[in-house]
Amino acid sequence: MSLFKPNYSVYIPYEQKYDCHCANYMEKSEVFSKLESYKTTFDFDYFDIYSLDFIEDPSLLEKVFDVYRSNTTMFGFCIRDWKLTLAQWSQVFEFVKSKSQITIFVLAMDKLETEVLNLFSEFLKSNFDLKELDLNLSYLDTSGVKALTTGLASNYGLTSLSLNLIHITWVQCVLGSVLNGIANKKTLSNLHLQGTLDLEAVEALSYFIENNFNLIGLKITEGELNDQAMKMIKRALLTNWSLQRFDLEFEKKFGAEGMKEISEFIPQLPNLKVIALCELDYLYYLYYDKEAKEALLRSIHAKGNLEGLVLAAIGLTDEDLENLSLSISGNQQLKCLKLNGNNFTKDSLLRIIHEAKTCSGLETIGFKLDNEEDEGMDEILDSLREIKTLMDIQVYNNYDEVPCKEQIKQMIDYNKKLLN
């Protein structure tokens, strides 16, 4: 969802807490009961009950509004696959606009009628409390892009934009139009793009990076970036030292040269605090390319002041342990360390945890144990107990199951009591 949570350290990767259910698999009474419970439930930033049919039962809409009237801690509003009349769409936009607590708007719809898009555009123009707009699960056509561009042209407060470019033709024109059309580019500090970026689109993105010195977070998912694209992005980033977080996920196209570009710019960005590289096929499938992984880990070690490091499913193994250990010990300000999806044996994980103990404020750790039947978990948990600052532990085995759930929960609860 959102790149960053308001009032939370901007450097730390954060996954918003939301409760997700599909209305198609719930009885109407269950839906009513769930909505009623949200009035006094303060565990979630927002709820996501998708496939709600407000046309069949108009009373549902008022119950949704009542949640936000009663629970002022929910700061996000999510619409996913809802069935609404044009009048109900208007009600939704007006209600969200009237609630200053709602700073995040998540819209996840496959297709919106022109009339609804016009309402959406007007909503963006006049909602001055809106800080984060998440369209990551929306498939925009030409009309949708026009509505978005028109709306953003008059919105001066937006700080985060998440945009889905999948299925959009002429991506370079669309991306350039949206980014250049934002009324006050100085406020947009977080940008998430999902979908293929050809070289023309990368050129438009690079231009935006070079001219927005308030950009602190850049996330690209499934961009199909090749080596040349990575070179263009590196060149743009090196002209903009404001970047604090860089995320790259599910990339398949770039190879050794692309990895070289990433390794080169990491230590050169003085304000960079978080690196997140997830499921990069080039590294994951080419275990034998030790040179590329070694260059990456050495550049992370050279950085020296990272607060978040996410290297998930990029093909790290026991052979990379020495360079990985140096990367961790060389960044003692780490608050988040996620190595999920890589293959480490118990002994290697114990070495990694040992190095993590040198990070005085580590709050989150994640890894996968490459052992059968959770062998060695007791020893690993004993080692983790020594890190009293941990508030989140994500452990998976070979079957993507979470072993020792109760023990982990007890450990975190104990640490929270110490903190308080």
* Most confident by average pLDDT, 177-181, 375-379, 400-404: 375-379
* pLDDT given at position 280: 79
Angle between helices 346-356 and 321-329 (to 10 degrees): 20
CA distance 285 to 118: 46
Contact 77, 106 (CB under 8 A): yes
Give, as one character, the DSSP assignment of residue 4.
Answer: S
Q: Is the dihedral of CA 325, 330, 333, 334 positive or negative?
A: negative
CA distance 162 to 16: 14
Say which residue the tokens 């024109």 belong to: 173
* pLDDT given at position 170: 56
* pLDDT given at position 222: 87
CA distance 54 to 62: 10
Query: Residue 325 above 90 pLDDT?
Result: yes
pLDDT band at 292 (very low <50, low <70, confident <90, very high): confident
pLDDT band at 92 (very low <50, low <70, confident <90, very high): very high
* pLDDT given at position 171: 59
* pLDDT given at position 140: 79
- H/E stretch holding 263 reads helix 256-265
Q: What is the pLDDT of residues 111-167, one digit of tens each?
A: 889 999 999 999 998 888 899 999 988 887 778 888 888 888 888 788 899 988 876
Give, as one character, the DSSP assignment of residue 23.
Answer: G
CA distance 187 to 214: 7
184 or 176, greater pLDDT: 176
| Percent of residues, the chain, with pLDDT higher than 70 | 88
Say which residue the tokens 């069949």 belong to: 56
* pLDDT given at position 167: 65
What would the two tokens of residue 249 be?
A: 């996920």
* pLDDT given at position 11: 35
* pLDDT given at position 375: 66
DSSP string, 54-65: TTT-THHHHHHH
- CA-based nearest residue to 395, from 416, 417, 414, 379: 379
Q: What is the pLDDT of residues 229-249, one digit of tens each?
A: 999 999 999 998 899 999 999
What value does the mean pLDDT take over residues 177-200?
79
* pLDDT given at position 172: 59
| Percent of residues, the chain, with pLDDT higher than 90 | 49
Q: Distances from the Cα of 141 to the Cαs of 1, 115, 136, 147, 220, in angstroms?
A: 21, 14, 14, 10, 20
Q: What is the pLDDT of residues 266-287, one digit of tens each?
A: 999 999 999 999 887 655 555 5
Query: Residue 288 above 70 pLDDT?
Result: no
What would the two tokens of residue 274 be?
A: 């978080």
- H/E stretch holding 392 reads strand 392-396
Q: Taking the model in full, what pTM does it have?
A: 0.88
Q: What is the pLDDT of residues 198-213, one digit of tens each?
A: 888 899 899 889 988 8
| Helix ranges restricted to H, 156-253 | 171-181, 199-210, 227-237
- H/E stretch holding 220 reads strand 217-221
| Helix ranges restricted to H, 16-170 | 28-38, 59-70, 86-98, 114-126, 142-152
How does the average pLDDT of the chain come out, rounded?
85
Least trusted range by pLDDT, from 25-34, 148-157, 209-218: 148-157
CA distance 298 to 330: 10
Give, as one character, the DSSP assignment of residue 369.
Answer: B
* pLDDT given at position 169: 58
Q: What is the pLDDT of residues 330-377, one digit of tens each?
A: 999 999 999 988 888 889 999 999 999 999 899 999 998 766 555 678
Query: Residue 7 above 70 pLDDT?
Result: no
